[in-house]
Amino acid sequence: MDKDLNLIRSIIMRCEEIEEAMDRFGNTEEDFNDDWMYQYTCSFCLSQIGEAAGKLSPELIERYTEVEWKKSKRMRDFLTHSYHNVEMSVVWNTITQNIPAL
């Protein structure tokens, strides 16, 4: 359980970092598209969220089925292994629609 708690704390911290990036760089998709550092920051955080989600215990995942843990992991895999093919609109939609819910 301590491992899960630390992973959840890490996920929350990365979500907060995405929110801070949005406050710092701007809250519009245009702001996001115009700033590579903004894109990299959010992409890195999403990758870290997926990495942590992939290490959560099966018990925790089964207990909190309303959270889309597998999607977080798939996003991490996609960002890490196919970064040159990532459409930034997908990253933008993820940080604006999924991160607040997470």
Query: Containing domain of residue 58, as a range?
Result: 2-101
pLDDT band at 52 (very low <50, low <70, confident <90, very high): very high
What's the CA gap between 96 and 82, in Å, rounded?
A: 21
Q: Is 24 a catalytic residue?
A: no
How confident is the model over 69-85, as a mean pLDDT?
87
Secondary structure (DSSP) of 14-81 = HHHHHHHHHHHH-SSHHHHHT-HHHHHHHHHHHHHHHHHHTTS-HHHHHHTTTS-HHHHHHHHHHHHH
* Model pTM above 0.85: yes
pLDDT at 84: 75
The catalytically annotated residue of 14, 24, 63, 81 is 81
Residue 84: active-site member: no
- pLDDT at position 101 is 85
Instruction: Give the per-residue pLDDT at 59.
Output: 96
Indicate the number of domains in the chain.
1
Question: What is the rounded radius of gyration, in angstroms, for the C-alpha atoms of the chain?
Answer: 14
Q: Please give the pLDDT value at position 69.
A: 92
85 has pLDDT over 90: no
Residue 83 has pLDDT above 70, yes or no: no
